[in-house]
C-alpha cells in the first residue's frame, strides 16, 4: 500500500477532542515480567476450533480445522533476539532501506521517499491524527530517529515488515505460523470469548496489554503500560504462551486476500492478536479469532512476530 494512501486511510479526524476531560488517576497494577525467555512450547496436532460467528464479520465462520503438531515461541521475538540476528547476518530491515519509488506516487511529498515506517502517537486537538510515516523510524528507533531500544531489550521487536520477520524465522530454523496455527495456539482450547474466559478484565486484573480510556486521545494504562510492554508481563494462556493477545500484533504467513486478484500491488498478510492500541471504543481485536490485513512492506510500532517450528 502506498504511504500516501496509508496516511489518508488512517489520518481520521477526531471529533470533539476539545470536549475531553482528564480522567481520574487509577492506581497502576504491580506486574512481574519474565526475567528470561522461556523455551518454545510444543503443541500436539489435532482438530482446532477457529473463527467466530459472534464477532467481526471477517472472523466468520466459526469452523474446525486440523493442524499438525508444532512448536511455538513462548513470547514475541524481542529486541535482544533480533539484535543477535542482525549482528550475525548484517540483515537490513525494510524500514531501513530506501522505499521502492514504484510504490509511491511521483507527486508524493519528498519525505515519503525516505526510509522510515509508521508511528503511532496519541491524538491531540491540534494534531487529530494517530499514524504518521516517520523517516528514520525502524526497529532500532521504533518511534522515530530520536527514540531508542536501549534498556528495552526484552520488549517485542517492532517496525518489522513481513519479509524481515520471515528472514529472522528462516535464520533461526523456524518459520512464521499460519493463521490457523496461531489461533489454535492463542485460544489454547478455550471456548470462551477470550482465552482466559468471557470477562475481559476478570476480577479487575488485566490479562493483556491493551488500551484503556478513549482511543486515540488518552491511554490510562490501567493495565500497567502505556504503549508496548516487555514480553511476559501478563499471565500466560493455558498452553504457557505469553502475550498472544495484546501488546503487539503478530505476523502470520496467511495472506489476508488474494493480492493478485484484488490488484493491491503488494502482498497483504493476516496479523493476529491485537495490540496495545486495541480499546473498547476502537478495534476491540483482543481475541484469538480477531484478524486484520497488513501490507507486507510496511512496518509499524505495534506489529511484531513470533516463530514456529516443525517436529
Ligand atoms: Ca496498556
CA of 33 to the centre of ligand 1 (A): 14
CA of 137 to the centre of ligand 1 (A): 22
> Does residue 277 form part of some domain?
yes
pTM of the model: 0.89
> Does residue 4 form part of some domain?
no
> Does residue 5 form part of some domain?
no
> Does residue 2 form part of some domain?
no
CA of 287 to the centre of ligand 1 (A): 15
> Does residue 53 form part of some domain?
yes
CA of 69 to the centre of ligand 1 (A): 32
> Does residue 97 form part of some domain?
yes
Mean pLDDT of 179-192: 96
CA of 276 to the centre of ligand 1 (A): 5
CA of 181 to the centre of ligand 1 (A): 26
Q: Quote the domain boundaries for residue 50.
A: 12-309
What DSSP string describes 86-137? HHHH----GGGSPP-GGGS-TTS-GGGGSSEEEEE---BTTB---EEEEET-
Q: pLDDT tens, 110-144?
A: 999 999 999 999 888 888 789 999 999 999 999 99
Q: pLDDT tens, 27-86?
A: 566 668 998 889 999 999 999 999 999 899 999 999 999 999 999 999 999 999 999 999
> Does residue 289 form part of some domain?
yes
pLDDT for res 25: 54
pLDDT for res 138: 98
- The CATH number that applies at residue 33 is 3.90.1580.10
Instruction: Provide the domain count of the chain.
Output: 1
Q: Is the pLDDT of residue 7 over 60?
A: no
> Does residue 120 form part of some domain?
yes
CA of 224 to the centre of ligand 1 (A): 6
d(CA 100, CA 102): 5
Q: pLDDT tens, 62-78?
A: 999 999 999 999 999 99
CA of 227 to the centre of ligand 1 (A): 6
What DSSP string describes 286-298? -STT-EEEEETT-
Amino acid at each position: 500500500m502506498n504511504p500516501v494512501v496509508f496516511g489518508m486511510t488512517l489520518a481520521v479526524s477526531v471529533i470533539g477532542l476539545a470536549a475531553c476531560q482528564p480522567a481520574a488517576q487509577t492506581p497502576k497494577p504491580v506486574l512481574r515480567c519474565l526475567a528470561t525467555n522461556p523455551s518454545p512450547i510444543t503443541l500436539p496436532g489435532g482438530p482446532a476450533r477457529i473463527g467466530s460467528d459472534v464477532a467481526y464479520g471477517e472472523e466468520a465462520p466459526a469452523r474446525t480445522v486440523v493442524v499438525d503438531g508444532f512448536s511455538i515461541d513462548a513470547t514475541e521475538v524481542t529486541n535482544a533476539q533480533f539484535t543477535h540476528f542482525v549482528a550475525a547476518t548484517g540483515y537490513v530491515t525494510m524500514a531501513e532501506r530506501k522505499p521502492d519509488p514504484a510504490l509511491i506516487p511521483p507527486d508524493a511529498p519528498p519525505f515519503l521517499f525516505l526510509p522510515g515506517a509508521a508511528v503511532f502517537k496519541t491524538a491531540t486537538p491540534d494534531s487529530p491524527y494517530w499514524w504518521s510515516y516517520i523517516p528514520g523510524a525502524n526497529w532500532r528507533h521504533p518511534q522515530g530517529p530520536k527514540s531508542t531500544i536501549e534498556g528495552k531489550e526484552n520488549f517485542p521487536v517492532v517496525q518489522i515488515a513481513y519479509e524481515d520477520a520471515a528472514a529472522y524465522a528462516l535464520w533461526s530454523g523456524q518459520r512464521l505460523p499460519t493463521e490457523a496455527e496461531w489461533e489454535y495456539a492463542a485460544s489454547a482450547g478455550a471456548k470462551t470469548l477470550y482465552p482466559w474466559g468471557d470477562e475481559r478484565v476478570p476480577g479487575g486484573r488485566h490479562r493483556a496489554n491493551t488500551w484503556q480510556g478513549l482511543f486515540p486521545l488518552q491511554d490510562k494504562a490501567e493495565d500497567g503500560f502505556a504503549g508496548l510492554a516487555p514480553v511476559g508481563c501478563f499471565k500466560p494462556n493455558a498452553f504457557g504462551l505469553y502475550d498472544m493477545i495484546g501488546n503487539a500484533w503478530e505476523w502470520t504467513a496467511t495472506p489476508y486476500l488474494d493480492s493478485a486478484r484484488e490488484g493491491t500491488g503488494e502482498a497483504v498478510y493476516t496479523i493476529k492478536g491485537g495490540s496495545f492500541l486495541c480499546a473498547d471504543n476502537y478495534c476491540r481485536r483482543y481475541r484469538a479469532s480477531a484478524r486484520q490485513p497488513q501490507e507486507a512492506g510496511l512496518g509499524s510500532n505495534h506489529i511484531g512476530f513470533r516463530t514456529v517450528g516443525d517436529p
